[in-house]
Structure 1
Amino acid sequence: MSGFKLSADQVELYHQQGYVVVKNFCSAQEIDKLYATALDDSAMKNNALDLNDQSGKKTKLSLWFTPGNDVFGYLTRSEKMVNSVQQLLGDKAKVCHFHSKLMQKEPKVGGAWEWHQDYGYWYKNQFMFPDELLSVMIALTPAYKENGCLQVIKNSHKIGRVNHGFSGEQVGADMQMVDNALKTMELVYSELEPGDALFFHSNLLHRSEANLSDHPRWSIISCYSLQSNLAYNETSTSWHTPVNVVPDEAILEWESESLSNADFLKKENDPALKETGWEQEVNNENS
């Protein structure tokens, strides 16, 4: 079993403020291998989605569901990852992997992500229990204010789900509620070094600026759910399949397959990007 375990203080912090940063969650050697794979595996490029922000800048991501025998699959299935998620979500049911995505913010051209909650998207997948969902961001390159690091509103997960509408090609939170949250709670820039992990609740409000710097900002975000959570509008199967856990050393030591075997998301199949009618009543304009 992995020797890694979140401290009681880290678990408490996650529940209190909606997120927790774990420094050096991945080693430099692990990050080197993950980043090299992200750059070199043609499946990542061939399955990347472009989503326009409000200004027309493009943010690029590749999203897949079932974690396989590739290096990213070994990361998302690793003992340290699954055990940490289990600590934060509780032990009422087994941990399942909903999806992972590679976020690619290139220098000068990488677009912004509007204010949103992950559950603002996953509500359309009809997941029933937002407290049984979380995301884990692993920085593959430095993430600073200058290159568009993630911004979070501390404690905003306690608001519950905020209505979401379309903002460019993205799904964004109602800006009136976001503005209210910013008046009430603290805005935090989550600056990360490569290998740092940010665990955050599905209802935490977060965004990121466009990358106008000379440096890329790449990260992998893996999203998890408990098997006790139900999704009534999700066609993939990984969300209710317990993770087949592998030892941490698999990331560096096991032979890795190409991501060409992964079940990537196609843009036209994403429920979050489909109109349901009520989105038109939501104000997504930044004031």
Structure 2
Amino acid sequence: MITDQQLSFFKKNGFLIISKYFNHEELIEIDSMISRLSEKKHDSYVYENDGITLRSVNGPHLIDKKFEQLPKKGIIDDIRVLLDSDVYIHQYKINFKSPLGGDVWPWHSDFYFWNKEDGMLNNNALSVAIALDDITEFNAPMFFVPGSHIEPIDDKNIINNYEGEARDWRQTTSAKLKYELKKEFIEDIVKRKGIFSAKAEKGAIIIFHSSTLHASGLNLTPYSRRVVFLSFNDVKNKLPEINTPRPLFMATR
């Protein structure tokens, strides 16, 4: 259960790491589930620029029902405390960050994407990253800007890398992200607030607010850095109807 100290830390910094959340047996089962997924093909799969290396599996619970059991009750209870609300899963994915080539995720805000692409109205949402491998300083850990979740992002600080092009959900999950934060903005906010490297042991969870600025680099090591992402939204913040919604494997409606 989330402690008062952890809740205070999360509210201040916009992220929280809890070690040993999943035990050895649970991790072995998840490994087996992911191995089966990796052998399949699905429209929701995203590959790196080489067209071979798996980058992401979106909506794994829609492909293998066993993934529906992964958000165990403890996670749901903890997220309810952090968001002070009942929740549902907005997005579910696995990022592989493969050895010797898992590509970058540029600086971005999840909520900015969810607002622009899915119509999410407010940022009372967060993500839980389950570390399936040890995350070290070498194999491309996520970087966070502490406290950035309390600063709104103006459109003027965003680069739309696909300006004028037709909407395509793949633009929101490739190494060339659709909405990327401008360098000048990142330089300024990091100088003011600092930067945190989210290193964690296998089995830990890394929780971060939907507006917390984050990024990760290229994995140049021979070590994998697989992470399951469960993104939760406040039930009172359900997505409205929009003209061109992303597929269900990208955003639950």
Give the TM-score normalised by structure 1: 0.73
Alignment of 1:26-105 (within 5 A): 26-42=22-38, 45-46=41-42, 47-50=44-47, 60-64=55-59, 70-76=65-71, 78-91=72-85, 94-105=86-97
Residues 136, 197 of structure 1: 8 Å contact kept: yes
Report the more deviating stretch, 65-74 or 178-187: 65-74
Residue identity over aligned pairs, in percent, reads 20
Counterpart of 2:166? none
Alignment of 1:116-127 (within 5 A): 116-124=108-116, 125-127=118-120
1:200 offset after TM fit, Å? 0.6
Q: Which runs of 5+ in 1 are unaligned?
A: 238-262, 271-287
Alignment of 1:47-196 (within 5 A): 47-50=44-47, 60-64=55-59, 70-76=65-71, 78-91=72-85, 94-124=86-116, 125-130=118-123, 132-163=124-155, 164-166=158-160, 169-171=176-178, 172-196=180-204
1:123 offset after TM fit, Å? 1.5
Counterpart of 1:199? 207
The Cα offsets for residues 97-138 of structure 1, whole Å up to 9 and x where unpaired, read as: 1011000111111101100111121121121110x1100000
Q: Give, as a single letter, the amino acid of the residue that structure 2 aligns with 1:98.
A: H
> 1: distance between equivalents of 2:24 and 2:216?
25
> 2: distance between equivalents of 1:229 and 1:99?
14
Counterpart of 1:24? 20
Q: Give, as a single letter, the amino acid of the residue that structure 1 aligns with 2:176.
A: E
> 1: distance between equivalents of 2:81 and 2:237?
16
Residues 148, 210 of structure 1: 8 Å contact kept: yes
Give the secondary-structure state (helix, strand or coil) at the position aligned to 1:60: strand
1:34 offset after TM fit, Å? 0.6
User: How has the CA–CA distance of structure 1 residues 57 and 148 changed in structure 2, closer, same or farther, with 3 Å as cutoff?
Assistant: farther
1:195 offset after TM fit, Å? 0.8
Report the more deviating stretch, 41-50 or 188-197: 41-50
1:65 offset after TM fit, Å? 7.9
Give the secondary-structure state (helix, strand or coil) at the position aligned to 1:123: helix
Residues 67, 74 of structure 1: 8 Å contact kept: no
User: How has the CA–CA distance of structure 1 residues 58 and 68 changed in structure 2, closer, same or farther, with 3 Å as cutoff?
Assistant: closer
> 2: distance between equivalents of 1:192 and 1:170?
25
> 2: distance between equivalents of 1:58 and 1:205?
26
Give the secondary-structure state (helix, strand or coil) at the position aligned to 1:142: coil
Give the secondary-structure state (helix, strand or coil) at the position aligned to 2:17: strand
> 2: distance between equivalents of 1:215 and 1:141?
9
Give the TM-score normalised by structure 2: 0.82
1:68 offset after TM fit, Å? 8.6
Report the more deviating stretch, 42-51 or 220-229: 42-51
Count residues with an aligned counterpart: 231
1:223 offset after TM fit, Å? 0.3
Residues 162, 173 of structure 1: 8 Å contact kept: no
1:175 offset after TM fit, Å? 2.2
Q: Give, as a single letter, the amino acid of the residue that structure 2 aligns with 1:61.
A: S
User: How has the CA–CA distance of structure 1 residues 69 and 51 changed in structure 2, closer, same or farther, with 3 Å as cutoff?
Assistant: closer
